[in-house]
Amino acid sequence: MEISEVRVRLVSNPDDRLKAFCSMTFDGQFVVRDIKIIEGTGGLFVAMPSRKMSDHCRRCGGKNHLRAKFCCACGTKLPEDRVHHDPQGHLKLHADIAHPINADCRRKIQDSILQAYNDEVERSKLPGYKPADLDEDDFHADDLN
């Protein structure tokens, strides 16, 4: 499997920890969107797409994110022991939608994305710079038949 394209859209607020959103195409056939580049304490890192984890109120069945203290539907106080911890002891509030399954794959993806990010930062300094369009698809419906 080869990384055939990385698109980077820089975030406009330079003071924010979130530096860019990316999409990555594999073998010209499969796209992963909503990859984030974040400035951490140890430098830039890549965060794969994820979703907020939630649970349901025991009283009414309403769906609530795990940081909620009260049910969004009925207002009942929610138990504090609803959040699970990962092996390092951190709260598990998000679940990955797509992610590499080994360190070599993660390194290859991160290196490709950070190189594309650095290239995009340099391009953004040029006159007439136009940001990448992450929503533009390079295929047509006819290709699916």
Q: What is the mean pLDDT of residues 2-12?
A: 94
* pLDDT at residue 13, as a whole number: 83
Hey, where are the domains in the chain?
A: 1-49+98-136, 51-96
DSSP character string of 29-71: TEEEEEEEEEEETTEEEEE--EEE-EEE-TTT--EEETT-SB-
* pLDDT at residue 101, as a whole number: 93
Residues 6+ apart with CB under 8 A from 33: 23, 49, 134
Structure confidence by residue, pLDDT tens digits, 59-118: 999 999 999 999 999 999 999 888 888 888 888 888 889 999 999 999 999 999 999 999
| pTM over cut 0.85 | no
Structure confidence by residue, pLDDT tens digits, 122-135: 999 999 999 888 87
* pLDDT at residue 138, as a whole number: 53
Q: What fold does the segment set 1-49+98-136 form as a domain?
A: Arylsulfatase, C-terminal domain (3.30.1120)
